[in-house]
Structures are given as structure tokens and as C-alpha cells.
Amino acid sequence: MSVFSIEVGLAILGLFLLALEAFMPATTRRALAGISMGGVALAFLLFLWVNKSATQMPEFLQPYQQLDTLAIFYKGFALLITFLVLWLTSQCAGYLTKYTVDGRLSEMFSLPLIVCPGMMWMAGAKDLVTVFVSLELVTVSFYVLVAFTRKSALALEAGVKYLILGALSTGILVYGIAWVYGATGSLTFEGIAKALANPETVKLPVLLGAALLLAGLGFKVAAAPFHMWVPDVYQGAPIPVTTFLSVGSKAAGFVILTRVIDTFSIQGSIIAPEVHGLLLIAGALTVLLGSLPAIFQTSVKRLLAYSSISHAGYLLLALSAHGSTRLDLSSGGVVAFYLATYLPMTVLGFLVLAILRINGGGEDVTDFRGLAKRSPLLALIMTIALASLAGLPLTAGFMGKLFVFLGLVDQAAWGALGCAVIGAAAGFYYYFKTILAMYSSDVSSSSQPIPLNLWTKAGAIVLAVTIVILGVYPRPLQSMLMTAPATVSAGAH
């Protein structure tokens, strides 16, 4: 039994459910949700069990796949977020079916099972072809998921935008890969790193390839100036899909970015200074272009979209601290840590949004008015999530930001630090705006108490407690990520 068999098993289950759904009588379709969630949960447990005994990838896969700390972490991350998304989908089923053409949600339960192995596969990629194939597996499934609620015009718009820009970015990415291959003669990270560390490699073509590659990946993780699609797509897509995009897709993009940056910034790399500068500029710009427009948003869903952009900026700034040895975590480790803190707060934010939708509310800040009266628990939980997104101490969000800021201070990147501080200060405003609305006693569109079933309550409380624990006691998570390697070793096999 290896991690690989879990990935294949999940993909097969996804295909099986896809086929099963077509022949199933309508009455038993509800079972789909159960099967897919059960499948992912089982996969997660198997994954934990497999990792207890340090297993290797099967022999024939070793040239393509590695199982380092980072890979294991992101594989677990992918399983977790897939499970949460499926859970969120089952919570939202009631209102989502109103917008689907046939009143079904079937593929919403099977496609994530295909996205998940794609993300897991990506986490361990050792070469650009594996990266590309798994990235496409994820992106193509997302084309369908984003536009799934086709009766909603916004969803259609989102789907078209995502399709066109996604295809474009894929093209740019392939073009970049081609240039990098042409200039370095290799598609594996190891080979590319070796060529980059060789001073005889011609610089300009590599630089062009690297720039195109980073631009293509920039689209995937919503880095400025390739972030324009995010607000519209996030707003139009169904809430579970938005969550998946915002957490899963972003994490997938960042695991590749981590690998790519580790390769480009290898000791003695001829393009390391340029890549470093690019990351600082792109990161600072992303933080600003994410957080400043967020100030003016009235829709919480769009606000979370912009917030997701600004978080991508902090993550890029974290990557820029490559090679900093003052922290126990490598820059990739800080990114992983940040994403781990980002998961519970974002899922929680979208969960509360979804619950409001289910109970007949809209997605605007004004719809949050009086939430503290309608459901004190939801208001408290959303407060914790928003405080964490804003980066208030004693929540998970602060620990992530602290690492990023420490990295910036350490490399004396004062300009980028200034932008990050401005972004964080703006965050106080736009996240607190929602908090104020929740506790204000103005009449909202509805003042009915919000009923919560046991599972929703339990899930929400677990996520909120996770945020607080990670903020107060981050030690276990850090030590889990501690051995994440800082660089791809150029010489070693």
C-alpha cells in the first residue's frame, strides 16, 4: 500500500461515481454525497496510516514523484480541504439545486474526487511535465465546477471568465516550460537547478522562460497583476467551489511555486536575484491590489475574494525570504504553515456565508446585520474567523503573518514590509466592517433565528477552535513542517 494507490483509488472512485450517477434512480442520489465524503475520509485515514510507516513511492514512480515533508503535508492538505468542500456542498445542497439545470448536484460530489488526486500528485512532482499534467487535471475539473449552477447568470459569467483566463494561463505556462527546457535542457527540477547553477548557461532565455512560467503560475494563485479574474469568479461560483478555489487551488499553486522558486533560487543560480526581486515586487503589489479594493466591497463574497488575493501576496512575500536561516522553517515551510492557518479561517468564513444563504439571506455586508441576535454562535465563530483573517494576535492568522514579517525584516525588504503593513492595516477596516455589522442591532432583512444542525455546529466549532489553538500553540504544526527542505539539492541523485 502506498500513497500512490490512495490517489489512484480516489480518482477511480470519482469516475465510478460519475458513471453511477447516470444510472442511479433519483431517490438514491443522496447517497452520492455520503459515498464521496466517506471515500475521502477513508482515504485520509489510510493516508495517515501509510505515513506512519515511512514508505517510498513505488520504484517506477520515483523519477517523477518525491515524498518529502512538503509533499506529504500538501497531500494531507488536499484530502482535508476536499473533505471540507464536500461537507460544505452537502450543507448547501438545498439552495444550490435551485440553480442547477436538472436540479441535481451529482458532479459536485464526484469531480472533487478527481481534483483531489490531481492536487496530491502535484505536491510530489519532481518535474515540470508532472506539474503540468496534474495542474490541468485540477483546472479542467474546476472549469466544470465553477459554472455548475448554470441557471445563475453570475455563475455562467464566472465560468466563461475562468475558462478563458485559465486556458490562456495554461498556454503561457507551457510556453514558459518550453523556454526553460530549451535553455536548460531539462524538465526535472533537479536538472534545471543544475543548469542554473552552471555559470555557462545563457541567462536571457532562462529568464524569459522563468518569467513566463511564473506568470502562468501567477494566474493560478491570483498574484497581481494576474489577479483580475478572482473577484468575479469567486463571486459567481457556488460557495463550496469558491472555497475549493480559494484554499485548495491556491495551495496547489503554491506548492508548485515553492518547488519552482526553490529551483530558481538554488545556491549560485544565475537568475536568483531577478527572481527574488520579482517575488518582492509581485508580493507587495498583490497585497496592495488585494487589500485596498477590498475596502470598497459591499459583498462579503467579493470581500473574501479580495482578501484571498491579499493573502496570496503575503504568501509570495513569504517565498521571497528564500534561504533565510533565522527561522526553523524554510520559506516553503512558512508558506505551508500560512496555508494551514488559512484553511480553517477561510472555510469558516465561507461556511457562515453559506449558512446565511441557506436561511434566505444574501451575500452583502448588510445581510450580516443582527447575526449576533439570530445566532450568537455563528457570530462568535465568524468573529474569530475574521479576526484571524485580519491577523489579530492569539489567532492562527497572526502566526502566519508574523513569520512572513520576520522574514521581510530579516532580509531588510523595507518597501515590501511597508506594503504588507499597509495591507494589514486596511484588513483591520474591511474585516471589522463585517464584525460591526454582525453585532449591530439595526433591522436586517430577516430576524429569524438561524437553526443549526448538530454537524454544522460541531464542524464550525472544531474549525474555530483550530484557529485559536494554532494561534496560541503553533508548536506541533511547526515541528511537523520543520524538516521541509529549503532547496532542491542540485548535485544529489
Partner 1 sequence: MSPLEIVILLPLLAALAIWLGAPARATSVGAAVINLLIVLGLVFGFQAASAGKAGFAFESARIVLDNPAITFGVGADGVALILTLLTSLVTLAAVWQIGDDKPGIYHISSLLIAAGALGAFLSTDVFFLYAFHELALIPTFLMIGLYGHGEPEHRKAVAWKTTIYLGAGSLVLLAGLMWLVLEFSGGGKLTFDLQALRAQAALTPLPVEKQAQIFFVLLLGFGTLVSLFPLHSWAAPAYATAPTPVAMLHSGVLKKFGLYGLLRIALPLLPQGAQVAWVQETLLFMLLGNILVIGLVTINQKRLDDVLANSSVMHMGYIFLGLAAGTEIALRGAVLLMFAHGVSIALLFALAGRMRNQLGTLELNKLGGLGEHAPAFTVLFAFGAFASIGLPGLANFAGEVMVFVGSFMNYGSASFGALQWAVVVSLWGVVMSAVYMLRACRNIFHGSAMTGLFMRDPALSQRLPLIMLAAVLLIVGCCPWLLLNLLKSDLAAVVAP
Contact positions vs partner 1 (CB under 8 A): 326-328, 376, 380, 383, 387, 392-394, 398, 402, 405-406, 409-410, 417, 421, 424-425, 428-429, 432, 435-436, 439-441, 472-475, 478-479
The answer to whether 106 and 21 have CB atoms below 8 angstroms apart is: yes
Q: How far is the CB of 469 from partner 1 (least distance, A)?
A: 11
Cβ burial, residue 448 (10 Å; 0-12/13-18/19+):
exposed
Cβ closest to partner 1, residue 8 vs residue 482 = 482
Shortest distance in whole angstroms from residue 316 CB to partner 1: 19
Q: How far is the CB of 356 from partner 1 (least distance, A)?
A: 20
Q: How far is the CB of 5 from partner 1 (least distance, A)?
A: 36
Q: Which three cell numbers stand for residue 396?
A: 492562527
Identity of the residue, 254 or 431, whose beta carbon is nearer to partner 1 in the bound complex: 431
CB 217 within 8 A of CB 257: yes
Name the region of 129 (left: φ>0; alpha: ψ -120 to 50; beta: rest): alpha
What angle is formed at CA 88 by the lines to CA 83 and CA 91, rounded to 5 degrees? 130
CA nearest neighbour of 81 among 227, 229, 242: 242
Q: Nearest distance from residue 362's CB to partner 1, in Å?
A: 22
Cβ neighbours of 277 (radius 10 Å): 12
Question: Grid coordinates representing 67?
Answer: 515524498
Is 455 or 473 the residue whose CB approaches partner 1 more closely? 473
Rounded least distance, CB 196 to partner 1, Å = 28
Q: What is the DSSP code string of 356-379?
A: HHHTT--SBGGGGTTHHHH-HHHH
Q: Rounded distance, CA 221 to CA 342, Å? A: 14
* For partner 1, the closer CB: 22 or 454: 454
3-state secondary structure of 299: strand
**Whose Cβ is closer to partner 1: residue 136's or residue 328's?**
328
List, as own/partner pairs, every contact residues 29-33 make where C-beta atoms lie below 8 angstroms and the sequence separation is at least 24, other chains included.
Answer: 29/104, 29/106, 32/106, 32/109, 32/110, 33/86, 33/89, 33/90, 33/93, 33/105, 33/109
Q: Nearest distance from residue 383's CB to partner 1, in Å?
A: 7
CB of 231 to partner 1, least distance (A): 24
Which three three-digit cell numbers place residue 163? 475558462
Could you give the C-alpha distances from 401 to 397, 424, 429, in angstroms and in order? 6, 9, 17
Shortest separation between residue 144's beta carbon and partner 1, angstroms: 40
> Are 257 and 293 contacting, i.e. CB atoms less than 8 angstroms apart?
no
CB 35, CB 16: distance < 8 Å: no
Note the residue count of the chain.
493
Q: In the complex with partner 1, which residue's Cβ is closer, 309 or 426?
A: 426
What SS3 state is found at 186?
A: coil
- Separation between Cα atoms, residue 94 and residue 118, nearest integer Å: 28
| Nearest residue (CB) to partner 1, 387 versus 486 | 387
The least CB distance from residue 269 to partner 1, in Å, is: 24
